[in-house]
Homo-oligomer: A and B are copies of this chain.
């Protein structure tokens, strides 16, 4: 294989009760990425569309991942990359993860698949370190594994792919404001009352159980975040109101996607996801803030190969 074009999905991390440990992938939003082998060694980012990102391969996450992988196998060829960014940087939808994990996946294909999915997750984390300052795994693992993933531990890195109920959909609203990851981090209380830690873990345990048993109502009762949302919601204008509007229209649960500003609503079925989207849209129009809105099935496959030769 000398050429590969992929769809690398957007992802939702945290997922309310799964702060820093859960993530899932989307079908409706994702980057398109093209990777070509070149006889000349080294990595070149030829084109980036859809976002104002650097082509400097030491600063662009896809470049960083590509260099690390080619160096690792001592490749005798180079890589040329084209990015069509549809997952907007700063959206809370795993924009850097989409690029980093997409690069890891595609280059592994071009190399003849020498690396495991867990190793690709490690490579993608090197990209996340450049983008966010810390090598978080929840978004990149969701891109690479698809569906719902649990970051069980970091040392050693362990990713568990969880089952996804067939009819699980998500609606996303992405307000066009910036929430800096640093501000979102700083908003958190670094010390959690033990009763809250217990509540959060009980809800996460409930959600895991619900995913294994296709229990949509238990999913709904488990999507409660007592650790991050109470602090971070203040960074997202009109969060409470749009959450209420979505829940009133039958969303299973609503929370902040990653560190925001995007807000996700898990729903049972496409029809409900559409009506929740309609309700959230109607409500958010009152704010005067521009926004995008998406409805998607949970992507259980992860990255999709669009073309290769």
Fill in one digit per residue for A110-131: 1 if any B CB lies within 8 Å of its CB, else 0: 0000000000000000000000
Cβ-neighbour of A153 out of B18, B21, B221 (below 8 A): B221
Interface membership of A171, Cβ < 8 A: no
Min CB–CB distance A142 → chain B (angstroms): 15
Cβ–Cβ contact A191 & B188, under 8 A: no
Complex-state Cα separation, A165 to B104, whole angstroms: 36
**Contact A202-B151, Cβ < 8 Å, known A191-B192, A194-B189, A212-B209:** yes
Interface membership of A135, Cβ < 8 A: no
**Contact A209-B153, Cβ < 8 Å, known A188-B194, A200-B197:** no
Fill in one digit per residue for A19-40: 1 if any B CB lies within 8 Å of its CB, else 0: 1111000000000000000000
Cβ-neighbour of A201 out of B190, B204, B212 (below 8 A): B204
Fill in one digit per residue for A177-213: 1 if any B CB lies within 8 Å of its CB, else 0: 0000000000011111110111111111110110010
Interface membership of A162, Cβ < 8 A: yes
Cβ–Cβ contact A160 & B197, under 8 A: no
Complex-state Cα separation, A188 to B193, whole angstroms: 11
Cβ–Cβ contact A197 & B192, under 8 A: yes
Copies of this chain per assembly: 2
- Give the residue among A22, A196, A201 with the most B Cβ atoms within 10 A: A201
A198, closest chain B residue (CB): B20
Cβ–Cβ contact B208 & A209, under 8 A: yes
Min CB–CB distance A86 → chain B (angstroms): 30
Cβ–Cβ contact B152 & A203, under 8 A: yes
Q: Enumerate chain A interface residues (CB-CB to B < 8 A).
A: 17-22, 150-153, 158, 160, 162, 188-194, 196-206, 208-209, 212, 218, 221-222, 227
Could you pull out 22 A-B pairs where Cβ atoms are within 8 angstroms?
Answer: A17-B201, A18-B205, A21-B202, A21-B205, A150-B209, A152-B205, A152-B222, A153-B199, A153-B221, A158-B206, A158-B221, A160-B218, A191-B193, A192-B192, A192-B194, A194-B227, A197-B201, A197-B227, A201-B201, A201-B204, A201-B205, A205-B208
